Amino acid sequence: MKWVLITILIFVIMLIAYAVSEQYKDRYDFYNNLKLFLNQFKINLSFRQEKITEFLNKTTCKKQFKIFIEEYKKFLQTNELNLDKIKVLDDADKKELVDIVTNLGKHDTKSELEQLNGFLLIIENKLQLANENKNKMCPMIIKLSLLFAIGLAIILV
């Protein structure tokens, strides 16, 4: 019975570790999807506010970026953008994202292209940082959790 409880404890600790490391993966996925999303605007500079909703309905994505898409659809109707549900972004990132989103499809082609290139440069830097954090932190969290779980199991035995 004691070994079963220790095994369950190790399993629970590892699940928690995977859940924590998943945040780094979600942040990377979010920025990767945002980059792809902005590139679609860049490719289709003829997008205007009325065509954006149609484009958003065709966009397939997962997790946190799906929340962003839903909030952006609401923004197009109400002009209010609430990014509080997006947990992978901090407040500064949310503010930058609001700046990006509120300016899409509101300028002439030349200005729109310049803005998109600037936004894509910002997103590319954030994507690179998110990738570095994902590659560094995820394995570290899992290894430290495993060591902690084994240490705890040894103490309990």
- The full length of the chain comes to 157
pLDDT at position 75 is 83
Residue 108 has pLDDT above 90, yes or no: no
pLDDT at position 61 is 72
* CB-neighbour burial class of residue 80 (10 A; exposed 0-12, middle 13-18, buried 19+): exposed
Structure tokens at 137: 């932190």
pLDDT at position 131 is 93
Measure the CA dihedral 58/63/29/143, to 10°.
-160
pLDDT at position 51 is 64
CB contact at 8 A, 134 and 31: no
Matching residue, tokens 């997006």: 86
- Please list, in sequence order, all residues whose beta carbon lies within 8 angstroms of the beta carbon of residue 19, skipping any fewer than 6 positions away: none
The confidence band for 82, taking pLDDT boundaries of 50, 70 and 90, is confident
pLDDT in tens, 122-137: 889 999 999 999 999 9
- Domain spans in the chain, listed from the N-terminal domain onward: 2-156
pLDDT in tens, 28-49: 988 888 888 888 777 766 555 5
